[in-house]
Amino acid sequence: MKILSSIALGILTSTYTLAQTTMCFKENHTSMITIEKTVLNGGLCSSKKSVIDMKKDGWIVDDIKIEKTSLGNNYIYIFKKNNKTLSSLNEAEIEKIVMKKLETRKKEEIEIQKRDIKLKMSKSGKEIYLRHCQSCHGKNADIKSHNTSRPLINLSFTDMKLAIRDYTLGEYDRGRAFIMKPYSDLLTTKRLKDVYSYIQTLKDNNKTGDNK
């Protein structure tokens, strides 16, 4: 078992069992009483097996979702079966499970890292925004500063970057650039990225109605 490194062993303990699941459904069924005897569609029921048949085959009902429709109810059954234990698997099967687990774990770690970076950026961006930008561009970045600028919340990162660069170069002016220029001089690309990240979090606030 060459790939069973210590990490893999940590993932696969001796009590690890292979759960198999399948999802079956019945749409617009009218009677609660007959549902267990009714042949279900989808999954391993494949329009042949009812709940009772599935139970006979060793499946247990893991979850049931019922949605009301105008014609009755939609039933969704999740069946589960613990049919194999680790010791009954051959090497190739174990290798497959371990690889899959490691892959998911790697993906999760990358997601967490990305989230952390975003969080850090928006934290530093928040500090800059509150200290240097909010007074003119608004708590929610949604006002036209001095009736001139576009609401920052509507701008892409490229829009912002070009605007800031051009204020710094003295090439962008709608009559109030003199008010903005000192602040554009404060912004490196990194600081602007952070501010941009923070502004994006304000969009979520606006959606949920916070911060109003």
Give the interface with ligand HEC as residue ranges (CB under 6 A): 128, 132-133, 135-137, 145-146, 148-150, 152, 160, 163-164, 172-177, 179-180, 183, 186-187, 195
Nearest Cα to Cα of residue 98 among 196, 7, 189, 28: 7
How far apart, in whole angstroms, are the C-alpha atoms of residue 109 and residue 39?
42
Residue 69 or 135: which CB sits closer to ligand HEC? 135
Nearest approach in angstroms of CB 22 to ligand HEC is: 53
Which amino acid, residue 183?
Y
C-alpha count within 13 angstroms, C-beta hemisphere, residue 47: 1
CB 170 within 8 A of CB 156: no
Residue 24 or 192: which CB sits closer to ligand HEC? 192
Residue 118 or 174: which CB sits closer to ligand HEC? 174
Return all residues near 65 (Cβ < 8 A) that are at least 6 apart. Answer: 75, 76
Residue 100 or 146: which CB sits closer to ligand HEC? 146
Nearest approach in angstroms of CB 63 to ligand HEC is: 48
Residue 150: alpha-carbon gap to chain centroid: 30
Residue 23 or 186: which CB sits closer to ligand HEC? 186
Residue 40 or 164: which CB sits closer to ligand HEC? 164
Nearest approach in angstroms of CB 174 to ligand HEC is: 4
Nearest approach in angstroms of CB 107 to ligand HEC is: 34
Nearest Cα to Cα of residue 66 among 29, 22, 21: 29
Nearest approach in angstroms of CB 121 to ligand HEC is: 14
How far apart, in whole angstroms, are the C-alpha atoms of residue 107 and residue 116?
14
CB 195 within 8 A of CB 187: yes
Residue 14: both structure tokens together? 């001796």
Nearest Cα to Cα of residue 44 among 74, 19, 80: 80
Nearest approach in angstroms of CB 195 to ligand HEC is: 5
